[in-house]
């Protein structure tokens, strides 16, 4: 390639805006309006025959090869990102995505694997409250056998699903015929031994556990613990600890609800378990603070072990300061040494050993600071963007508006802005870095900040834990980009 490869994107020694190269193959998935926008449709795409139009790298420009477009009448996709226990839910509220299992790393097409609806609309008659079927979060459990397990949650109820394959069926029952109807006992003249017969492959999704009636407020986070036996669920004011085998009770480990609700000053926005230490977890708040708690210290973690907060510059304080400082997502690095938080304008990386300030700060769309008033009026300022690490913790990714998403290399501190656009997804089309112009004369390939479409936003992104493969959810499309295979 003539330059160094940096975990999903490449850079030479020249200026980044013409030499950043992203050699990804893109697969865009869309669906029609035939289904409910709140259905959870779990889909995986097994590899097909690899296309011959593999991505070719250029010395000066990034290239992208549009692989395929899958359509569905349902609204949500489920994809298993890897063939091992590292199954990753990459789209939530209500989207979910990934790849098929037990496949070699050949790059080909993806086909629908399974479809099921997770939640039904409900109504709380006691509170006269309608509970939507919309999925807020989805988390995979490590794969232990041929079946896959995932947790999905709407505002009130969490479900544990098992997704498995069946290619044989039993035939030759004594008391019922092949259609399942009961036979007349008086016409049974012989004893038969049922046998297993081959059948067309069937993928089944069955709810194994239902965890309900534990949250008064809307659930915003679920996180599987590193012991793979317990998980956390968080709403605006409380965090509960569940055992995967026990559905009728949970332990309340964080409760920030004041005695007088008029004294409420902050709410919980996200919670995450430590990837290596099952007793440690963090949760973020609408004030931009992060609290690290140790469950060994007390059963009720009202007192945090560590408190992470960046001091605010008084000179830059404005009416919107508290809103844009609210943390929408928090993620531990795979090593467990760092954690990453996403607020409205930036991504921050924190060292768990340093609480007073982040070790790294990346501006995602600082050019929107002058637009905060209009963003407040159209409620875009309350959008909750997610963020993710790559498999080696050397790069991070998050979304923005106008279907842009940002990637930051932690080693070189270089960044790149890319666009997930269906219009540009043509065979062998170039994936060019995009740049937003904030004022003055703009270049041909630049886009003015005044022409950004705030209805097109990328809230959910994911990075394959072991490969340079990313997935991006752009409104009603799912884009999969993968690194070039030589």
Token pair recorded at residue 204: 């089944």
Specify if 187 maps to a domain: no
Distances (CA, A) of 361 to 347, 364, 408, 458, 483: 6, 9, 10, 20, 26
pLDDT in the model for residue 189: 84
Specify if 470 maps to a domain: yes
Q: 122-131: long-range contacts (C-beta < 8 A, 24 or more apart)?
A: 122/156, 122/157, 124/156, 131/155, 131/156, 131/157
pLDDT in the model for residue 199: 87
Specify if 179 maps to a domain: no
How does DSSP classify residue 304?
-
Specify if 173 maps to a domain: no
pLDDT in the model for residue 264: 93
CATH number at residue 207: 2.130.10.10
- Domains: count for the chain: 1
Alpha carbons 288 and 73: distance in angstroms, whole number: 39
| Cis preceding linkage at 94, omega within 30 | yes
Alpha carbons 230 and 86: distance in angstroms, whole number: 17
pLDDT in the model for residue 170: 84
Specify if 368 maps to a domain: yes
Specify if 127 maps to a domain: yes
Do residues 462 and 408 make contact, with C-beta atoms less than 8 angstroms apart? Answer: no
Nearest CA among 434, 417, 306 for reference residue 362? 417
pLDDT in the model for residue 352: 97
Distances (CA, A) of 61 to 193, 268, 398, 443, 483: 66, 43, 22, 17, 15
| Alpha helices in 50-201, H assignment, sequence order | none
Q: What residue ranges of the chain have pLDDT lower than 50?
A: 1-86, 88-105, 486
pLDDT in the model for residue 10: 38
Specify if 185 maps to a domain: no
Q: Which domain holds residue 292?
A: 4-168+197-483
Distance of CA 46 to the CA centre of its chain: 20
Specify if 246 maps to a domain: yes
β partners of residue 53: none
The burial of 442, by beta-carbon neighbours within 10 Å (0-12 exposed, 13-18 middle, 19 or more buried), is given as middle
Using alpha carbons only, give the angle 152, 154, 155 rounded to the nearest 5 degrees: 145
How does DSSP classify residue 46?
-
């Amino acid at each position: 390639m003539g330059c160094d490869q940096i975990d999903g994107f490449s850079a030479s020694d020249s200026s980044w805006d013409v030499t950043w190269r992203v050699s990804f193959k893109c697969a865009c998935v869309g669906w029609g309006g035939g289904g409910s926008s709140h259905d959870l449709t779990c889909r995986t795409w097994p590899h097909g025959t690899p296309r011959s139009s593999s991505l070719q790298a250029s010395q000066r420009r990034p290239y992208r090869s549009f692989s395929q477009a899958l359509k569905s009448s349902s609204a949500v996709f489920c994809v298993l990102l890897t063939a091992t226990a590292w199954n990753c839910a990459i789209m939530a509220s209500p989207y979910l995505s990934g790849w098929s299992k037990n496949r070699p790393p050949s790059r080909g097409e993806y086909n629908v694997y399974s479809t099921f609806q997770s939640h039904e609309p409900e109504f709380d008659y006691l509170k006269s409250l309608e509970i939507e079927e919309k999925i807020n979060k989805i988390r995979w459990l490590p794969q232990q056998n041929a079946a896959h397990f995932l947790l999905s949650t709407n505002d009130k109820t969490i479900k544990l699903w098992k997704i498995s394959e069946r290619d044989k069926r039993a035939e030759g029952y004594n008391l019922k015929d092949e259609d399942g109807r009961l036979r007349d006992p008086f016409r049974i003249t012989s004893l038969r031994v049922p046998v297993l017969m081959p059948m067309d492959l069937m993928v089944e999704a069955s709810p194994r556990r239902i965890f309900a009636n534990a949250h008064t407020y809307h659930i915003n986070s679920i996180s599987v613990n590193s012991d793979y036996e317990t998980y956390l669920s968080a709403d605006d004011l409380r965090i509960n600890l569940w055992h995967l085998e026990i559905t009728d009770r949970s332990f309340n480990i964080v409760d920030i609800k004041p005695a007088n609700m008029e004294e409420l000053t902050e709410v919980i926005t996200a919670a995450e378990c430590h990837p290596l230490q099952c007793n440690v977890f963090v949760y973020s708040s609408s004030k931009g603070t992060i609290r690290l708690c140790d469950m060994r210290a007390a059963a009720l973690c009202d007192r945090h072990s560590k408190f992470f907060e960046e001091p605010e510059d008084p000179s830059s304080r404005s009416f919107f300061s508290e809103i844009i400082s609210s943390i929408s997502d928090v993620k531990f690095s795979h090593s467990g040494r760092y954690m990453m938080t996403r607020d409205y304008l930036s991504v921050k990386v924190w060292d768990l050993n340093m609480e007073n300030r982040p070790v790294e700060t990346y501006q995602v769309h600082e050019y929107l600071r002058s637009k905060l008033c209009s963003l407040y009026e159209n409620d875009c300022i309350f959008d909750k963007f997610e963020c993710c690490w790559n498999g080696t913790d050397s790069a991070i990714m998050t979304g923005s508006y106008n279907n842009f998403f940002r990637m930051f290399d932690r080693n070189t501190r270089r960044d790149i802005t890319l666009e997930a656009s269906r219009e540009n997804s043509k065979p062998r089309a170039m994936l060019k870095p995009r740049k937003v112009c904030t004022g003055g004369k703009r270049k041909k390939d630049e886009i003015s900040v005044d022409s950004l479409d705030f209805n097109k936003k990328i809230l959910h992104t994911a990075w394959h834990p072991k490969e340079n493969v990313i997935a991006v959810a752009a409104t009603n499309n799912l884009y999969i980009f993968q690194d070039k295979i030589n």
